[in-house]
Amino acid sequence: MKNFKKSIYVSLIAFITIIAGCSKSDDDNGPGGDQGSGLLGSYDITIDGQRYSGTVDSEDENGFALATYAKEDGKNLVGFVLNTDEIIISGGFEYRDGQENNISLGENGDSSIGILISALGNRGYTSKSGNAKVNIRKKINAPDGSGALIAADIDFQGIFYYTDSNGEEQTAQVSGSFKNNIVGL
């Protein structure tokens, strides 16, 4: 898991550097669906029956969405983050080929999702059990071959835990989707 986290962080830093070097004039690079749209990502999440949804686009000052991909020791490694003023969704998955439609989430596994919602006093939810599905729509490989920036759809459902105002661990039923796009590359 340590190598997985290191790979994801290195990939995230490399691609943030690449994205920061892109100018507005780079935003429409022709066909590809995601390029030029300005929509970086979207989310639609339900926590114990309460729905949270929204988008982040290239004009949002405090928002971003990014997902990376790498392959290490025969495993697929996906890391992702979506950040807005209202919500932060992040996580990482480690899975073998053919398992992208049934990735196990768990506190002892190599795949997890975390959600932080400002409207709930910055309450954080972490996956405890459940499953996820990843659909990689597009990859842009890093020049050094260390990984790729990806446009992906991620669907998930499961039991997440959080700490209530009394310091007690509680669980919640959480389901939803996260989508990120590649804009400007």
The string of pLDDT tens digits covering residues 51-110 is 999 999 877 777 889 999 999 888 999 999 999 989 999 999 999 888 888 999 986 668
How far apart, in whole angstroms, are the C-alpha atoms of residue 124 and residue 117?
A: 7
User: Please, what is the average pLDDT of the chain?
Assistant: 81
95, HSE (Cβ side, Cα atoms, 13 Å): 21
The pLDDT assigned to 110 comes to 83
The pLDDT assigned to 107 comes to 65
The Cα-based distances of 131 to 75, 122, 145 in angstroms read: 17, 24, 29
pTM, full prediction:
0.78
How far apart, in whole angstroms, are the C-alpha atoms of residue 3 and residue 73?
A: 10
Query: What residue ranges do the domains of the chain occupy?
Result: 2-22+39-180
The string of pLDDT tens digits covering residues 148-161 is 999 999 999 999 99
